[in-house]
Chain A
Amino acid sequence: MAVLPVKKMTIFALQKSNANIISALQKYGGVQINDLSTAPNLPDGILSCAIDDDNKLSGYNADLDNLFNAIKFLGTYDDTKKGFLSPRPNLSYDEVDDILTDLDTYLKLSKYANDLEHNLFTLSSQKAKIIANMDHLKPWLTLNCPVNIIKDTKHTIITTGSIPSTEWVSFIDDQSDMSTLHLEEISSDSENIYIFVACHELEMEGLMKSLQKASFTKATFPKSEGSPSEIYDSLKDDLISLDEKFDELIKSATEFSSNIPDIKKCYDALMLKRDMREVALKFGATDYTVYISGWVPSARVEEVTSLINSVTSSVEIIFTDPDKSETPPTFIENNAIVEPFESITSMYATPNAYERDPNPVMAPFYFIFFGMMVSDAGYGLVLAALAMLLYKLTKPEKNSGKLILVIALGGVSTFLWGVLFGGWFGFQLTPLWFAPLENPLLMLIVCFGLGLVQIMTGLVLKTRIDIENKGFIYAFIKDISWLMLFTGLLLFASNMIGSSPVFEILSSIGTYILIFAAGLLVLGSAGIAFIEKLKGLEKKSILKVIITFISSIFSGVMALYDITGFLSDILSYSRLFALGLATGVIGMVVNTMMGMMTNGLGWIFVPIVFVGGHLFNLVVNALGAYVHACRLQYIEFFGRFLEGGGYPFMPFTVKTKYHRINY
């Protein structure tokens, strides 16, 4: 239920046992291996294995890339139906070596797939080119002379091309004084006019000038024989044959895609091999031995010892506690209820290895707040049911599973708050406690009250940390005074509930506690500041001491300024009300809209509106509740005591992309 201690592990073994040890550790999956290739100082005589890398690792990575590209490409042509929510297929660890004996075959298969991809790409760009050429030919189809004779003769200039329609009128004007000009308009479209023009060479200059002025573009033809329409037809034939080739390739890709499951198996097997090679490079070595350094959770020390001893008896395993200069990884373990909430904390920061695990304290607050922000019993049931269904169907890996479980637990909380507040699918029924819409001020007080509880919990945690790190007096002045202040404030405000003599007494006790706490805070902070500043003074003259004294009083009073921070934090909890309100009112809107459709044919739409509207409301508000509940934990709770800065415990374990490994 906490951040658990880890021990440093050192293994000395013979090199011939290296592969078996690696395989055993990978299967066990509970030991973190340190990368000695980047370690600052290795013990005498030990060299990093990374020096011996024979490019095997990069070979594995290149092969993995090829396999992955093949899988991706073939996946687009694979039309076998896959269940959207189906779990990952299983693969046995012992099959891995068998699969890898066929590695060359799979690499050839993936090369074939990659070639297919390449050919398809070439074909489609060829097709595109032909289609573009066909488009360019379209204006010339009525010109029924072979294109190879459209060129200058001995004494005439002959050319074809296009003129933008905007220039046409001025072009015609320019031609009015040319006597040997033959101008034919072949066709026109919205942008250009396509012409055939010829003139005597003596008038060439004038023609060229006016053509240039009119932005004339000479026509080019993709082939040099035949008339434009003949060229067009032959291009069409080319296109048809390319299309046939294209379809053939697609057919073979689709057939070939039946190999995908096997290629995926090979991928995962190779991935395991690659990981083993990668970790082997992290070890150190002498001529005959191998030196492994890592971290093991203290609870697993015996297991690991017997595991390694079962592989080989010629081995020395040493466990030591981490010394002050080393930061061990942070290893967190919690029970099944708290574990899903670890995902919330890990999104913010990893606690450092010497801190306490915040998850068990955070989990109940998150649970409560999520439910308050959705607070509809019907939605809660749907949310919990859907999330559990999703979890059972997809059987996800550890980390994605945590998110689904958080939502499922959130659904339970939503149901509870929905019952308390009387919200059922947007309908306001009799609440077990009270309806927030009818008594908003009470709801706000509840929200602020819960917020105050969380803030004070954060203060208590901070107190414990401060007692350990900075001594009891510091904690008493800085943290316990705030706790007393809030307690005093609450007692003081208790006479607003009612006016019985009990409340009067409580209220006056509260006043005294309040004054004492405020005084403690101000004077204590002043004292701390005074001592600190005195230490920093080099020359201790009476004047300087008095100045220091006055400035310390000032900083003592400023310590009270933190009340504004607390106030804004408490106000932040009003979002519990606001978001729950949003869900409730949208639900009401959906139901009102439904009510308006109940005359005549409208009945058909009623279930659509009900399901659609409430589903939309549920999704949007569940997302909002998830995010805002996270935010409350991060800013108003963790911000008070969590240091962070740790790195998570990452064991060397089996990692796969497509399969689930079983042993």
Chain B
Amino acid sequence: MFETSMAELMGEIPWGAVWTITGAAIATLMAGIGSAMGVSMVGQAGAGVIAEDPEKFSKVLIMEALPGTQGIYGLLIGFLIVLWSGLLGGDMTKFMDISTAEGLLVLLGSLPIALVGLYSAIYQGKAAVAGVALIARRPEQSGRAITMCVLVETYAVLALLVSFLIINSVLN
């Protein structure tokens, strides 16, 4: 057991598959963390508004849902990676045959949605909190609050697209 050299040990690990699944994990977890933080921020602000005026619940709930989309995008990329790598379908030969280079490319491809998802969800949460404050004072302007919050999501959408294109090109 102790005679096995580091090189041999490393050689047994299917690095291509490992990096691929790392990419899926990172995309999902970082975007999910971002959305969780963003949505939670808005929930806290919203609870304060509802304490004063329960009538505003539906408007505040919509604001709370808005930072949640980045988590869904992360899930999307994670799912597509797991699907196209063959792991989900049980196609283990395709999965194990992923070269290290391909795996690293998939890992890099997951970074846009991971990092942009994380930060844009947090910042969108902050914008949504401000929108909730706007709704508290002027409930008829809820449409504008929503619009201003959604502008932040543009960047998550663009990052999703790039991640998708990279993953699609590498794994298909």
What is the interface of chain A, defined by CB distance below 8 A to chain B? 347-348, 440, 571-572, 574-575, 577-579, 581-582, 585-586, 588-589, 592, 620, 623-624, 627-628, 630-631, 634-635
Contact = CB atoms under 8 A, between A and B. Distances in A.
B20 to A, nearest CB: 17
A623 B144 contact: no
Contact of B161 (A348, A577, A586, A634): A577
B107 interface: no
A336 B140 CA distance: 24
Interface of B: 62, 65-66, 68-69, 72-73, 75-76, 79-80, 83, 88, 143-144, 146-147, 150-151, 153-154, 157-158, 160-161, 164-165, 168
Nearest to A634: B147
Nearest to A596: B88
B88 to A, nearest CB: 7
Contacts of B69: 582, 620, 624
Q: Which of B72, B144, B150, B151 has the most CB of A within 10 A?
A: B72
Contact of B143 (A347, A575, A592, A628): A347
A578 B150 contact: no
A366 to B, nearest CB: 14
Contacts of A575: 154, 157
Contacts of A586: 72, 75-76
A35 to B, nearest CB: 20
| Residues of A contacting B: mostly | helix
Given A581-B164, A589-B79, A620 B147 contact: no
Contacts, number: 63
A440 B76 contact: no
Q: 9 closest Cβ contacts across the A-B interface? A: A347-B143, A575-B157, A585-B76, A578-B157, A627-B150, A578-B160, A578-B161, A574-B161, A631-B150
Contacts of A578: 73, 157, 160-161, 164
19 contacts: A347-B143, A347-B144, A348-B144, A575-B154, A578-B157, A582-B69, A585-B79, A585-B80, A586-B75, A588-B83, A589-B79, A592-B88, A620-B65, A620-B68, A620-B69, A627-B150, A628-B150, A630-B147, A630-B150
A627 B66 contact: yes
Contacts of B143: 347-348, 630
B157 A581 contact: no
Contacts of A631: 147, 150-151
Given A575-B157, A582-B160, A628-B150, 9 more contacts: A348-B144, A572-B154, A574-B157, A578-B157, A581-B76, A582-B69, A585-B80, A588-B83, A630-B150
Nearest to A630: B147
A388 B77 CA distance: 35
Contacts of B165: 440
B146 A627 contact: yes
A440 B164 CA distance: 9
Contact of A588 (B66, B79, B164, B168): B79
B68 A347 contact: no
Contacts of A623: 62, 65
A623 B69 CA distance: 10
B147 A627 contact: yes
Nearest to A619: B65
Contact of A571 (B66, B75, B80, B158): B158
Contacts of B153: 628
A634 B72 CA distance: 25
Nearest to A628: B150
Contact of A582 (B65, B72, B144, B150): B72
Contacts of A347: 143-144, 147
Given A623-B65, A628-B150, A582 B73 contact: yes
A579 B157 contact: yes
B35 to A, nearest CB: 12
Contacts of B83: 588
Contact of A620 (B72, B88, B146): B72
A5 B65 CA distance: 41
Nearest to A579: B157
A527 B49 CA distance: 56
A592 B87 CA distance: 13
Nearest to B88: A592
B17 to A, nearest CB: 20
Contacts of B160: 578, 581-582
A657 B121 CA distance: 39
A628 B66 CA distance: 11
Contacts of B146: 627
A627 B124 CA distance: 14
A440 B168 contact: yes
A572 B147 CA distance: 15
A620 B67 CA distance: 11
Contacts of B80: 585
B133 to A, nearest CB: 19
Nearest to B141: A347
B160 to A, nearest CB: 5
A450 to B, nearest CB: 16
A68 to B, nearest CB: 13
Contact of B76 (A582, A624, A627, A634): A582
Contacts of A588: 79, 83
B158 A574 contact: yes
A577 B143 CA distance: 24
A298 to B, nearest CB: 29
A440 to B, nearest CB: 6
A610 B150 CA distance: 29
Contacts of B164: 440, 578, 581
Contacts of A574: 157-158, 161
B75 A589 contact: yes
A529 B78 CA distance: 53
A626 B157 CA distance: 15
B171 to A, nearest CB: 13
Contacts of B144: 347-348
A491 B83 CA distance: 39
Contacts of A585: 76, 79-80
A415 B42 CA distance: 33
A634 B146 CA distance: 12
Contacts of B75: 586, 589
B152 to A, nearest CB: 11
A657 to B, nearest CB: 12
B168 to A, nearest CB: 6
A571 B62 CA distance: 26
Nearest to A584: B76
A550 B166 CA distance: 46
Contacts of A630: 143, 147, 150
